[in-house]
Amino acid sequence: MDLLDRYLGAVGALLPKAQREDIVAELRDVLLNRIEEKEEAKGAPLTDKEREAVLKDFGHPLAVAGRYGPQQSLIGPTLYPFYVFALKLAVALAAIVTVVPAVVVALLGRGEALDVVMDALTHDFPRSALMLAGLVTLVAAGIERGWVPLTGLTDWNVRDLPQLTRKKGMFEARFEALFEVVATALFILWWTGLWRVDLTGAVTLEGAIALAPSPVWASLYWPILVWAVLGLGASLIALVRPGLVRARAVFDLLTAIGGMVLTTLLWKSLPLFTLTPVTATAKDVGQLQHVVDTGFHIGMFVAGLIFACQIGAALWRLYKGAR
């Protein structure tokens, strides 16, 4: 038995029995053609070492048989990008389900804050993330092998895709910046008392309940003013010099960090407004106070998520600059 027969025998032993003969015959033709080309270029028959070199260049029998064998990869190249995207969503979902509630409980001061957060990071989050990642992997493997049908998911049109690459025109961007400047400036004027607005009629609810601001607003007077001035600076840069990407990113980053700090302080200082009965019953006032506090809890939580996203976006723009 020469080297070619020995090589093809090793490959054939690794192939499916039903296709073995056809694949071996095809490989024999390919290898014989390569040997003939080498002999024509040399002008003489190849030696055993030269024939062995041709076979070695063609590949190890395991690798060659793998090209013709059944699908061996768990997730194929076509499905892999979707699989990675689903994994990212699974990890994000695990973080939302485990870490975010732990942070909320810690901010509310229920139990040891550090212990609650660390327990979520070291136990709950990894367990949930691994469970969801395993589930995504099983589903992807089932799709790869046709066990999970994709009815309706393979029918898509380009026209149905969302338009995500539209850039704002210069006029639109300047108009938004101008609106932000005006709105922030009016807030600063109102906050400093330079623009007085009579809110006397807004502090009572149909004459039955009086609404009084919490003392925390007075203690946060200067921090809120500085935060508003930073926001005004960012808007002015976008209006006057929109090309200064990094300068705008610095102001946006400081504004977002300040907003996150203020949100945390306000969260810990709830209630932000105190309801007192005028003609209403104490029970009704208590129920309404609970509704108001719950609304502020939700609002502060959403604001914290928004500021966190703004911090990430500002850091990214600061890193990329004008590129």
Domain boundaries, the chain: 3-68, 80-149, 170-320
64 contacts: CB under 8 Å, gap ≥ 6: 11, 27, 58
**Cis before 162 (ω within 30):** no
Most confident of 156-165, 179-188, 289-298: 179-188
Exposure b/e, 132-159, CB count within 10 A at least 16 = b:
beeebbeebbebbeeeeeeeeeeeeeee
For the CA atoms of 21, 22, 27, 33, what is the dihedral angle to 10 degrees? 120
Per residue in 114-146, pLDDT tens?
Answer: 666 677 777 788 888 888 888 888 888 887 766
For the CA atoms of 221, 224, 227, 229, what is the dihedral angle to 10 degrees? -60
Say what the pLDDT of residue 203 is.
Answer: 47
Report the C-alpha gap between 90 and 156 in whole angstroms: 24
Residue 298: CB atoms within 10 Å: 10
Report the C-alpha gap between 154 and 19 in whole angstroms: 31
For strand 209-213 and strand 204-205, is the pairing parallel, antiparallel, or unpaired?
antiparallel
3-class DSSP state of 204: strand
Q: CA end-to-end span of the chain, whole Å?
A: 64
Per residue in 235-291, pLDDT tens?
Answer: 898 888 877 888 888 888 999 998 988 888 888 887 888 877 766 677 777 777 777
Burial class (CB in 10 A: 0-12, 13-18, 19+), 267: buried
Per residue in 8-36, pLDDT tens?
Answer: 888 888 887 888 888 888 888 988 898 89
DSSP state of 123: I
Report the C-alpha gap between 280 and 277 in whole angstroms: 5
For the cut 80, the answer to whether the pLDDT of residue 202 exceeds it is no
Report the C-alpha gap between 84 and 69 in whole angstroms: 26
Q: Considering the entire predicted model, what is its pTM?
A: 0.48
212 has which bridge partners?
274
DSSP state of 158: G
Contact (Cβ atoms closer than 8 angstroms) between residue 234 and residue 213? no
Task: Tell me which residue has tokens 């006029």.
Answer: 171
For the cut 80, the answer to whether the pLDDT of residue 108 exceeds it is no
Q: How far from chain centre, in Å, is Cα 217?
A: 34
Report the C-alpha gap between 144 and 286 in whole angstroms: 57
Report the C-alpha gap between 57 and 84 in whole angstroms: 34
Report the chain's mean pLDDT, rounded to a whole number. 78
